């Protein structure tokens, strides 16, 4: 599956995965060409750069 996601991202420009798992877990199993959103969107990563979690926006 990681190979297929990588090919799709290269062909179409953007492929994203939204998961309930932490971004660190997703980065270990998915290619860096895929945009990642973990913890149901609270964490994100693209091109290997993690974005800080959104704090204070969830009640």
- Does a structural domain hold residue 35? yes
Q: Structure tokens of 53?
A: 């979690």
Structure confidence at residue 58 (pLDDT): 57
6-40 per-position pLDDT tens digit: 999 999 999 999 999 999 999 999 999 999 999 98
- Does a structural domain hold residue 20? yes
Among 31-35, 41-45, 46-50, the least confident range: 46-50
- Does a structural domain hold residue 57? no
Q: How confident is the model at residue 1 (pLDDT cuts 50, 70, 90)?
A: confident
More confident residue, 47 or 28: 28
In whole angstroms, what is the distance from residue 5 CA to residue 20 CA?
18
- Does a structural domain hold residue 38? yes
- pTM equals 0.79
Closest CA to 7 of 25, 26, 31: 31
- Does a structural domain hold residue 44? yes
In whole angstroms, what is the distance from residue 29 CA to residue 37 CA?
13
Using the 8-state DSSP alphabet, how is residue 43 labeled? E
């Amino acid at each position: 599956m990681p190979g297929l996601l990588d090919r799709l991202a290269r062909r179409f420009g953007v492929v994203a995965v939204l998961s309930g798992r932490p971004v660190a877990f997703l980065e270990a199993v998915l290619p860096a060409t895929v945009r990642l959103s973990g913890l149901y969107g609270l964490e994100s990563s693209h091109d290997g750069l993690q974005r800080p979690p959104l704090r204070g926006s969830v009640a």
